Structure 1
Amino acid sequence: MTLVDEFIDWYLAENPVRAALLGADGYDRTLGDLSASAFTARERAAEEWLRKLSESTPESPEDEIDRDLVAAHLRGQIALARWPEWRREPAAYLGVIFGSMFTPFQQRLKPEAELVDAAVARLAEVPAVLAACQANLDPELAADLLVTRGLDQARTGRRFLTETLPALVGDPDLRARLARAAEPAADAFDGLVRFLEGFEPRGSWRMGEELYSALLREQEMLGYGAAELHEKGRQAWAELDTRMTEVAARLGSGSWRAAMESLMDDHPPTLEAMRAEYEAETLRAREFVRDRGLVTFPEGEVCRVEPSPEFQRPIIAVASYLAPPPLSSSRDGVFFVPYTPDGFTEEQVRQRLRTNSRPQMPSISVHEGYPGHHWHLSWMAGNPHRARKIFRTPYFVEGWGLYVEKLMHEQGYFDTPQTELAHLDCRIWRAARIVVDTALHCDDMTIEQAEEFLTTKASLSPGTAAGEVSRYCAWPTQAPSYLTGALEIERIRADYTGDLRTFHDTIAGSGGLPLGLARKVVLG
């Protein structure tokens, strides 16, 4: 057993929910230890694992890639210990609970009775996890915005556990058993809601340039920091602005913003109609990719298109994707269509539909489905290296999703001025994300200025922009990953001398590596 294998065994044992969601056996009866002592012990262990890996000598170039991938992950975790999520926001606890309860019933890797057994065991641990949340949150570190996000999620807890989750179970007796087991956990959620309503956070959500740049260099293995990334975003925005003005002129408009406002009026009439149209567009993209021979399809892959889970709706305003568990044989993924939370007004729902207009659907379906996230993560799951299945960076994964949008444009998929402009709008939005995220976290931009930037420099509605900015505040460095990664993948492709299909199969099949490691895999 290599040192990387030893680390992975330790990592799975320390993160049982993630292990189970990855498809590893034997981890589905517990939520893990989320006490303060456990968090600090894992932080110390990460430093020791990094020391051991840095002193090790891999036996082959492939082993070296695995070691460097794990080391990059550990460097990121060690850096983030200075910005401890578990002291700063409820998401560190709520994500564990919601993900562990909902995802197994989505993936259906085991018989229903076993899924219910596992859920009942985990439900018994929910009160302790939420008690740890209340004990560990530090008012000097926690920020009001992040606590409010957690509070909005926590308010969905009772209904999710006592109604939504049991409704996923077909057998009446098993459904009743799950509903009974959910009551104490739901009571604990009610207690967390009361606690958070009275909690008075005094910290900041701003990460700061020093840590932000450290993550770009040490975890993402990019050769630049926050200031350079910010400037790249501004340059990319200016270039796209010029291109979009040219396309808008073909539509008879002197302004691409005005043209996009008009295009967004062509949207599905209801949320369910939006889901149905996304499903049809996803199938069209799949056939286009197959006909062009752009990638090799993994055997047995299926991409389902479903409404976003109830607990995600307060915090995610755009489409998302649930990958097949890579440590299992499943190749079944889910494209989640961004439904609105309960309580949204008719106008708020209309604005959500406008930001998922028919001209925009081809780009979004390509990104989430084929040959974007679903194809990539289904194909990647066939990689024989466990490290490549477990550790991946959004700078590759989201970069790939945006790269293939441009690829499909090159191949003629966006075949009208309307869909071409919408494709470029998706890209300029990602350039705006770079500008906004770096400015927010390096103390240059307010939340209100960020929302205005997204509504005037991209085509987001005010409601979607507010949801996006809230997400950026909670998840620093993720928003720039899309365009940054796409540009890096394009550079690797420019240096590659083989055919397009082999390039795609090789780079995407290597995992979701930091881009420097992906370059090594493809180019040697």
Structure 2
Amino acid sequence: MTTRRLLLLATLAGCARAPLAPPAAVAPRRADSVAFESYVTAYLAGGRGRAATGDSLPAFLAGLAAEAPRRAARRAAEQLVELRRIDTAGLTGAQRVDWLLLESQLKRTVYDTILRTPERVPGRYLTLGDLYWRVAGVGGDRPPTERDWADVRQSLERAPQAMALGRRQLHAPPPLWTRLALSTARSYAAFLRGEYRTRLALAPDSLRGSLQLTGEQAAAALDGFAAFLQDTLAPGPDDSWAAGRAYYDWVLRDVNFLPMDAAGMIAAGRQIHEATKAALDSLAQRLRPGTPWRTLVTEMQGRHPEPGRITDAYRRHSDRVHALLQREALITIPARESLTFVPTPPQLRETYAWGGYGGITVRDSVQVGRFFVTDVVPSMTPEQVAEKLRTQNDGWIPVIALHEGYPGHHLQQVYARTNPRRVRRGGVGGNTYYGEGWALYAEHWMARVGLFDTPDAQLGQLQMRLWRTARVIIDPSLHTGAMSYEQAVRFFMDEVGLERSAAEAEVNRFTTWPTQAPSYIIGWLEIERLERDVRAALGSRFNHRQFVERVLEAGPLPPLLMRRVVLESYGLAS
């Protein structure tokens, strides 16, 4: 039996399909598709479940206020009532999918008030956002425009007030989140006193003086906020970042439409994890009989780009897979798009050990994706440099390059932005089980077409699958109290072979985003299952290029809704 078959059986055995629950019984008031489209128009114009606030300084601060989540929840509750007055029997199939997606997101806005983010999340008040990319990256191929500099000045002007509000509102946050925010604040301050000042030479003369002043004021405010986080803010319990079993299970069921709870996910994860270790053992015996896979991984980690050349390596591998997709006509790549490579911003370096996808900006009608890469930085010690280089090795870089770029997240986002369904084009929900499931599916698809043609790449791809199977175990275990932070770090190190800094970055991110980490494996398996079912139904008429394009054209939907859309596009019952 193949490894892929083992993986599929291990998960799907414990994930029997549950029928999609019908909408809550509410007396229908409107029953036609025109009424639903009118609702969507109002929803998208009115803040998508959040109270619309505008872009003024008072509106900016109102969005950070302690009352903001409760205000958003009240608005979402009103929208939910209106949505449930629409009789879904009168909607098209596509509209019913959108209805279910909207309902799940509105329910989440209401439910998420229990997270108490204004008082528990210190990083919420570090609002410099795109500052680093605008000043240092900007897309990587042109200097900031005058509009960019004006936006930078506005961000710097607002930052001290946001941090002042945080000092008033924060109460007993998880100590880990305080440490992460402290590190981010210091990184921002160092940037403003270093590279930012150098880059000011590129600013227009009319703005340079005010940009220098606001930069100095923001750096001073960051120093003060860092001192507050370190010396004054009383911590909550060490593990108070845990979402808890009830919340975790609710998000799996009601937001992601998955027929499993945390306990079921952990059990499925262990089965898949063991199957993947067996596949690694088999690969090691093919590559070098008698040698454990961990030995081969250790050797692979010693092969890596030189410091400062990691980004170039990602760019080179991305170009290679892009060329393969076009040469073999494996999928349509829409016109007027590009992918640029930029440094990982300071606020993400402790949670993204390798890099990630930073979304799309439109420049001169071209959709420009930002692929951020975590390279060696000057502040690192020699030991940290060595560890980062082992992490960014020749086996992992080719896999991450396609996962984040082509045909992974970047191509996924390009397709999503042209989706004819406004709800999905607007990114409502941005479902991670679709997003990460597709990117992992892309890895295995590219393996099947022969992209990984070196032992390091083959080993790296399979070790990365083990990394993802570990996530299926660790994330629900962390948030339900079955595993401590240190146990999670050790699991990554002992079971997967990650360096400690990479393992910590992983677990740090898991604490802030419950249910996201398992989405890679679970989402991938759902797409593989869907492909098998469509192949079986179509037989010789199955066309893989058509299939992958229909998956992307479905848009950012939970797996069950994505399955419904794709099957209906083939005229198959869901």
* Residue identity in the other structure for 1:202: G
Q: Tell me the distance in 2 between the aligned counterparts of 1:354 and 1:15.
A: 46
Match of 1:425 in 2: 463
* Residue identity in the other structure for 1:205: W
Checking the alignment, whether the CA contact within 8 Å between 1:14 and 1:32 is kept in structure 2 is no
1:257-284 deviation digits (Å, cap 9, x = unpaired): 12111111111121x2111111111100
SS of 1:343's partner is coil
From 553, 557, 563, give the equivalent of 1:513.
Answer: 557
Deviation at 1:245, TM superposition (A): 0.4
Task: Count how many residue pairs are aligned between Structure 1 and Structure 2.
Answer: 511
SS of 2:346's partner is coil
- Range that drifts further, 390-399 or 312-321: 312-321
Match of 1:20 in 2: none
How is 1:275-294 mapped onto 2 (pairs within 5 angstroms)? 275-294=311-330
SS of 1:155's partner is helix
Match of 1:129 in 2: 162
Query: Which TM-score applies when normalising by structure 1?
Result: 0.91
Q: Tell me the distance in 1 between the aligned counterparts of 2:287 and 2:421.
A: 49
Give yes or no for the alignment of 1:41 onto 2:85.
Answer: no
Checking the alignment, whether the CA contact within 8 Å between 2:50 and 2:76 is kept in structure 1 is no
Give yes or no for the alignment of 1:460 onto 2:504.
Answer: no
From 23, 27, 43, give the equivalent of 1:7.
Answer: 43
After superposition, the Cα gap between the structure-2 partners of 1:45 and 1:456, relative to the gap in structure 1 and judged at 3 Å, is same
Deviation at 1:117, TM superposition (A): 2.4
From 540, 545, 550, give the equivalent of 1:501.
Answer: 545
Deviation at 1:104, TM superposition (A): 5.2
Match of 2:111 in 1: 79
SS of 1:268's partner is coil
Deviation at 1:165, TM superposition (A): 4.7
Query: Which TM-score applies when normalising by structure 2?
Result: 0.83
After superposition, the Cα gap between the structure-2 partners of 1:330 and 1:93, relative to the gap in structure 1 and judged at 3 Å, is farther
* Residue identity in the other structure for 2:76: A
From 179, 182, 203, give the equivalent of 1:171.
Answer: 203
After superposition, the Cα gap between the structure-2 partners of 1:475 and 1:202, relative to the gap in structure 1 and judged at 3 Å, is same
Give yes or no for the alignment of 1:208 onto 2:208.
Answer: no
Checking the alignment, whether the CA contact within 8 Å between 1:167 and 1:175 is kept in structure 2 is no
From 309, 315, 318, give the equivalent of 2:351.
Answer: 315
How is 1:374-413 mapped onto 2 (pairs within 5 angstroms)? 374-389=410-425, 390-391=427-428, 392-413=430-451
Match of 1:480 in 2: 518
Q: Tell me the distance in 1 between the aligned counterparts of 2:61 and 2:533.
A: 45
Deviation at 1:218, TM superposition (A): 0.9
SS of 2:342's partner is strand
Q: Tell me the distance in 2 between the aligned counterparts of 1:353 and 1:28.
A: 44
Unaligned runs of 5+ in 1: 18-25
Match of 1:266 in 2: 303
Deviation at 1:251, TM superposition (A): 2.2
Deviation at 1:384, TM superposition (A): 2.9
Q: Tell me the distance in 1 between the aligned counterparts of 2:87 and 2:156.
A: 43
Give yes or no for the alignment of 1:186 onto 2:219.
Answer: yes
Deviation at 1:328, TM superposition (A): 9.6
1:307-327 deviation digits (Å, cap 9, x = unpaired): 212332233212201121489
* Residue identity in the other structure for 1:336: F
- Range that drifts further, 341-350 or 374-383: 341-350
Q: Tell me the distance in 1 between the aligned counterparts of 2:284 and 2:169.
A: 52
From 327, 332, 351, give the equivalent of 1:296.
Answer: 332
Checking the alignment, whether the CA contact within 8 Å between 2:49 and 2:75 is kept in structure 1 is no
SS of 2:510's partner is helix
Deviation at 1:446, TM superposition (A): 1.5
Q: Tell me the distance in 2 between the aligned counterparts of 1:37 and 1:166.
A: 37
Q: Tell me the distance in 2 between the aligned counterparts of 1:328 and 1:41.
A: 37
Match of 1:23 in 2: none
Q: Tell me the distance in 1 between the aligned counterparts of 2:55 and 2:234.
A: 36
Match of 1:98 in 2: 128
Deviation at 1:472, TM superposition (A): 1.3
- Range that drifts further, 400-409 or 125-134: 125-134
Q: Tell me the distance in 2 between the aligned counterparts of 1:191 and 1:259.
A: 48
Q: Tell me the distance in 1 between the aligned counterparts of 2:128 and 2:331.
A: 34
Q: Tell me the distance in 1 between the aligned counterparts of 2:48 and 2:191.
A: 27
1:319-367 deviation digits (Å, cap 9, x = unpaired): 2011214899441112111125653211211111112211222111110
* Residue identity in the other structure for 1:463: S
SS of 1:322's partner is strand
* Residue identity in the other structure for 2:305: P
* Residue identity in the other structure for 1:227: A
Q: Tell me the distance in 2 between the aligned counterparts of 1:364 and 1:171.
A: 34
Give yes or no for the alignment of 1:153 onto 2:180.
Answer: no
